[in-house]
Amino acid sequence: MPKTPLTFTLNDGEVAVFVDPGASLIDVLRRGVGDLTPKQGCAQGTCGACTVLIDGKPHLSCLTLAETVEGRRIDTTAGLAGGPNLHPLQKAFMEGFSAQCGFCTSGMLMASKALLDRTPNPTRDEVIEAISGNLCRCTGYEPIVDAILSAAQQGGAR
């Protein structure tokens, strides 16, 4: 099958790969590029574990055709920390005991980063709305909402 060349920016690095026509962005990121931080929970666009940012906006990478990100900027959890320094969201999730199994965490972080980048001081309701497309089966959500609010207070829109 002829492959399509694809170039995009991934967390400040340039990526050039050949992809199968119709391949999903999550498959290209995980199996093509080796960024394993987006997780596949449903491949139906209902769980949010695969959330990445495309030009700063949250998208479900399982439902995104890889070919549509040509020339665009992708952010994943792999690029969230600045070198050894954790992002305020990561610190808040750690200190808030906001993860148990950790499988939804990448997607939660991306969805909440998108929120804090555009709304540095969100209300509780805005936080809830921002992560309402991300499912968590372990925590009951409250520690996650609290962590995002806490990160915002500590300058999470870094």
- Which residues of the chain form contacts with another protein (CB under 8 A)? 20, 31, 34, 36-44, 46-47, 49, 76-78, 80-81, 86, 89-90, 93-95, 97, 99-106, 109, 127-129, 131-132, 135-145
CB atoms within 10 A of CB 134: 25
For the CB of residue 13, give the shortest distance to another protein in the complex, in Å.
Answer: 16
Contact partners, residue 67, CB within 8 Å, separation at least 6: 4, 6, 19, 21, 23
Q: Which is nearer to another protein, 21 or 71 (CB)?
A: 21
Q: Which is nearer to another protein, 71 or 151 (CB)?
A: 151
Q: Which is nearer to another protein, 54 or 110 (CB)?
A: 110
For the CB of residue 123, give the shortest distance to another protein in the complex, in Å.
Answer: 13
Structure tokens, 95: 């200190």
Q: Which is nearer to another protein, 71 or 149 (CB)?
A: 149
Cα(140)–Cα(24) distance, rounded to whole angstroms? 30
